[in-house]
Amino acid sequence: MINVSKIKKGIVLDHIEAGKAHILYRALKLDEVTDTVVIMQNISSTSMGKKDLIKIETDYDLDFTVLGLIAPYTTVNFIEEGERVKKIRMEMPEVVEGVLHCKNPRCITNSEREIPSHKFYLYDKDKKEYRCEYCDNLTTYGE
Ligand code: CTP
Ligand code: ZN
């Protein structure tokens, strides 16, 4: 197996479903990060069979809110001085911006006149339903 060294300081996103790291990379806008980023794909895992992993060596606090929507089982590990100091999982966010698209074809957000970033509000946690701020239509992530 390829050996990727441990990081000194930063964030490790662990237990990503195999093959999905690139989706998280895009959603988290990691292409805009100037720090070192390592994406590992199809690593063998005892609990998952295979998994993906992303390591970001950074001093900055990144916003992982969107993970609660697109990959709620991802573990976010915070590393300081080579040691993991915190491990969290994101909750489903109350407000989502710039990820969902309204399912209502007549919604203003789907018109030619583009609305740059509009909000969706969590409506039903179990069904993963979000309400469009413009037309109140419900949209489920992944459908
Ligand atoms: N890690 C890293 N650099 C460090 C410490 C940890 O890149 N300095 C990575 C590890 O390679 C692992 C993840 O962070 O992928 C979590 O590491 P660890 O704290 O060792 O926890 P595990 O027991 O592997 O994971 P868990 O407790 O989540 O099952
Ligand atoms: Zn709408």
Question: Nearest CA to 121 among 103, 107, 106, 100?
Answer: 100
Q: Probe ligand 1: pick from 12, 51, 52, 56, max atoms within 8 Å of CB?
A: 12
Is 116 within a domain? yes
Assess contact for 6 and 23: CB atoms under 8 A.
no
Q: Does residue 3 lie within any of the structural domains? A: no
Residue 138 binned pLDDT confidence (cut-offs 50, 70, 90)? very high
Q: Which two tokens stand for residue 108?
A: 């203003």
Is the same domain home to 83 and 103?
no
Cα 136 to ligand 2 centre (Å): 6
Residue 107: per-residue pLDDT: 93
CA of 137 to the centre of ligand 2 (A): 5
Question: Within this chain, do residues 108 and 83 fall inside the same structural domain, yes or no?
Answer: no
Residue 48 falls in which region: left (phi positive, over 0), alpha (psi -120 to 50) or beta: alpha
What CATH number is attached to the domain comprising 43?
A: 3.30.70.140
In a domain? residue 84: yes
Percent of the chain whose predicted confidence (pLDDT) is above 90:
69
Clarify whether residues 135 and 84 are in a common domain. Answer: no
Contact in structure between 80 and 9 (CB atoms under 8 Å):
yes
Residue 125 has φ and ψ, to the nearest 5°, of: -65, -45
Note whether 74 and 111 are same-domain residues: no
Q: Do 19 and 71 reside in the same domain of the chain?
A: yes
Residue 31 is classified by DSSP as G
Range of the domain at 38: 10-89
Length of the chain counted residue by residue: 143
- Does residue 49 have its Cβ closer than 6 Å to ligand 1? no
Q: Locate 117 and state its tokens.
A: 């970033």
pLDDT score for 10: 97
The pLDDT tens digits for 70-109 are 888 899 999 999 999 999 998 899 999 888 899 999 999 9
Q: Which atom of ligand 1 is nearest to the CA of 5?
A: 7
Tell me how far apart the alpha carbons of residues 121 and 26 are, in angstroms, rounded to a whole number: 22
Q: How many domains does the chain have?
A: 2
pLDDT at 1 over 90: no
Domain finish residue from 89, 104, 123: 89
